[in-house]
């Protein structure tokens, strides 16, 4: 990939991934431009529904090389995250390289020399520039809302909204509201509605295991979820060690009872056994160790399940069958009379600037496209993706991806040959499809397996994946949470803490 040498890089998108990539390229001294179609840096954090924010604590959602200041709340609101990312770009001199309002409309391979010709649209003017490498940092989703196709829409007399349109509270005030979805944004929309509207329903086709901010009301969830002990108990990664394999075979009753106890804790703490809506309970069908990898792992606002228990928010475990004149009919036959239907059903992917044949070469399927180390495909040299990963700590994941890619460009590590990359991609695809629930972003989904992924990136870069230090390090490795601060010293040029070889 790096022959001839890469001297110019185009980064598409100035969100978390784009800024992380820019900083990493700066560390190795490679020229780059960041093209962002929006008017500010920050990607998804530049805009959102009323009250949007981070669902995990800032100790998990921060750039490893730029800790969030103490003045930032533990669960930062969206505008605070955007300001933080703007500070990050300013602090490291990235803003000088960012072209705001510059929309990448197409890329095509340069036939004269390995690289890409990138078509840009800015202020109504079209231009084309050439780069040795293009790094796509637009994330998993575009700014095009995903609204499922539901029949009889034209019959409905009320308003149909996407949750991103909930910028002004007046839109829900004193109305009867149905929220469709059961992820973080759906529960946020339901809470907003509960404060303002006359009646609030939430329609959930699939129930998800909630992750409380504090387990048993005491322990921050990162202590229960993001350590290596828990990592050894979730479904095995694609290449487990012989000991992990043996543990999951001979120790299966132990692992099974552990997760049932976790489920019991969640059921009791969140009141999932309460009689709710048209169904008896909110206990999901999937075991927690599987369900945690479904479409929407959520850390709901602490008030959410209390409002549900008190009947302020009515949950319907069903789908929307069709619209009626006065509301919606659910799959279980329930008729809801509502005058606002809010879809909190996520966003569409948008890689429209990639030529159609590229989708084929990337092996795009219903569940996304599988890449080597979530970043590269041997069929398409000199095109990289940073930010095509869904994890518990995206800032950490994207910063480490950027360091790995920049270190590769700088020749600090090398790729295996194309066949070995394809074999690795095939193994990842087979592993995910063997157990991970289907979603359109399954190829990008890592969630808690982020730790295994980071271990791979560290090992590739010749760095020590075990990040804890001190006499108590073995215990800390087992039970202490892994978070961005553990990777503070890692850069594209190495690790100030230590190198394993």
Residues that bind other proteins (CB under 8 A): 235, 241-243, 251-258, 260, 287, 289-290, 434-435, 464, 466, 471, 473-475, 477-478, 498, 500-501
Rounded CA gap, 164 and 185, in Å?
Answer: 9
Residue 257 CB, nearest distance to other proteins (Å)? 3
Torsion, CA 368, CA 373, CA 378, CA 380, rounded to 10: 60
Residue 245 CB, nearest distance to other proteins (Å)? 11
Residue 323 CB, nearest distance to other proteins (Å)? 33
Rounded CA gap, 109 and 357, in Å?
Answer: 11
Q: What is the SS3 assignment for 17? A: helix
* The length of the chain, given as a count of residues: 501
Residue 463 CB, nearest distance to other proteins (Å)? 12
Residue 212 CB, nearest distance to other proteins (Å)? 22
- Using the minimum distance from each CB to other proteins, give the nearer residue, 360 or 500: 500
- Using the minimum distance from each CB to other proteins, give the nearer residue, 53 or 494: 494
Helices 450-460, 394-409: inter-axial angle, 10-degree rounding = 20
Residue 266 CB, nearest distance to other proteins (Å)? 15
Q: What's the token pair of residue 156?
A: 């409905």
> What DSSP letter does each residue of 152-169 carry, written as one string?
TGGG--SEEEEGGGTTSG
Cβ-based neighbour number of residue 180 at 10 Å: 26
Residue 487 CA: distances (Å) to CA of 65, 82, 490: 8, 22, 5
Rounded CA gap, 393 and 245, in Å?
Answer: 26
| C-alpha 426 chain-centroid distance | 22
Q: What's the token pair of residue 418?
A: 């194309």
Rounded CA gap, 490 and 483, in Å?
Answer: 13
Residue 235 CB, nearest distance to other proteins (Å)? 5
Q: What is the SS3 assignment for 235? A: coil
Handedness of CA 194, 200, 206, 207 (dihedral sign): positive
Residue 98 CA: distances (Å) to CA of 92, 162, 168, 333, 349: 12, 30, 31, 52, 23
- Using the minimum distance from each CB to other proteins, give the nearer residue, 141 or 431: 431
Cβ-based neighbour number of residue 195 at 10 Å: 14
Residue 248 CB, nearest distance to other proteins (Å)? 8
Residue 228 CB, nearest distance to other proteins (Å)? 11
- Using the minimum distance from each CB to other proteins, give the nearer residue, 92 or 431: 431
Residue 290 CB, nearest distance to other proteins (Å)? 6
- Using the minimum distance from each CB to other proteins, give the nearer residue, 31 or 245: 245
Per the DSSP assignment, residues forming a β-bridge with 447 are: 391
Residue 227 CB, nearest distance to other proteins (Å)? 14
- Using the minimum distance from each CB to other proteins, give the nearer residue, 278 or 475: 475
Secondary structure of the chain: what % helix, strand, coil (to 5)?
A: 35, 20, 45
- Using the minimum distance from each CB to other proteins, give the nearer residue, 441 or 478: 478
- Using the minimum distance from each CB to other proteins, give the nearer residue, 335 or 498: 498
Contact yes or no for 11/387 (Cβ under 8 A): no
Rounded CA gap, 200 and 276, in Å?
Answer: 13
């Amino acid at each position: 990939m790096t022959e001839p040498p890469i001297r110019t890089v185009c980064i598409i998108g100035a969100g978390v991934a784009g800024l992380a990539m820019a900083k990493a390229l700066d560390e190795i001294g490679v020229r780059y431009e960041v093209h962002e179609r929006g008017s500010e840096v920050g990607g998804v954090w530049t805009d959102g529904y009323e009250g949007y924010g981070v669902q995990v604590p800032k100790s998990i959602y921060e750039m490893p090389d730029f800790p969030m200041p103490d003045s930032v709340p533990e669960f930062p609101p969206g505008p605070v995250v955007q300001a933080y990312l703007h500070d990050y770009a300013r602090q490291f001199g990235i803003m000088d390289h960012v072209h705001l309002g510059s929309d990448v409309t197409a890329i095509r391979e340069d036939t004269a020399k390995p690289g890409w010709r990138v078509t840009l649209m800015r202020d109504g003017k079209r231009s084309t520039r050439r780069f040795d490498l293009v790094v796509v940092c637009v994330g998993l989703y575009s700014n095009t809302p995903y609204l499922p196709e539901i029949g009889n829409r034209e019959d409905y007399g009320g308003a149909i909204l996407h949750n991103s349109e909930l910028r002004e509270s007046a839109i829900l005030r004193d109305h009867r509201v149905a929220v469709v979805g059961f992820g973080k944004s759906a529960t946020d929309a339901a809470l907003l509605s509960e404060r303002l509207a006359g009646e609030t329903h939430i329609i959930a086709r699939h129930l998800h295991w909630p992750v409380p901010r504090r387990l048993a009301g005491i322990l921050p969830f990162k202590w229960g979820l993001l350590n290596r002990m828990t990592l050894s108990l979730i479904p095995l990664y694609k290449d487990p060690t012989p000991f992990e394999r043996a543990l999951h075979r001979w120790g299966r009753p132990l692992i099974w009872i552990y997760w049932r106890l976790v489920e019991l804790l969640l059921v009791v703490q969140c009141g999932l056994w309460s009689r709710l809506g048209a169904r008896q309970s909110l206990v999901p069908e999937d075991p927690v160790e599987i369900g945690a990898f479904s479409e929407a792992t959520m850390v709901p606002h602490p008030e959410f399940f209390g409002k549900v228990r008190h009947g302020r928010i009515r949950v319907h475990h069903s789908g929307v069958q069709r619209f009626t004149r006065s509301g919606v009919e659910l799959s279980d036959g329930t008729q809801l009379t509502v005058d606002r239907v809010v879809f909190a059903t996520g966003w569409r992917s948008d890689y429209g600037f990639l030529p159609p044949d590229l989708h084929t070469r990337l092996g795009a399927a219903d569940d996304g496209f599988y890449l080597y180390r979530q970043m590269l495909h041997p069929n398409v040299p000199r095109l990289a993706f940073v930010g095509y990963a869904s994890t518990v700590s995206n800032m950490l994941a994207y910063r480490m991806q950027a360091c790995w890619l920049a270190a590769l460009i700088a020749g600090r590590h090398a790729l295996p040959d194309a066949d070995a990359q394809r074999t690795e991609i095939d193994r990842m695809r087979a592993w995910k499809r063997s157990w991970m629930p289907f979603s359109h972003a399954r190829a990008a989904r890592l969630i808690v397996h982020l730790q295994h992924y980071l271990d791979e990136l560290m090992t590739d870069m010749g760095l020590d994946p075990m990040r804890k230090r001190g006499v108590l390090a073995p215990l800390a490795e087992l039970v202490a949470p892994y978070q961005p601060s553990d990777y503070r010293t890692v850069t594209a040029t190495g690790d100030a803490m230590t190198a394993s070889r």
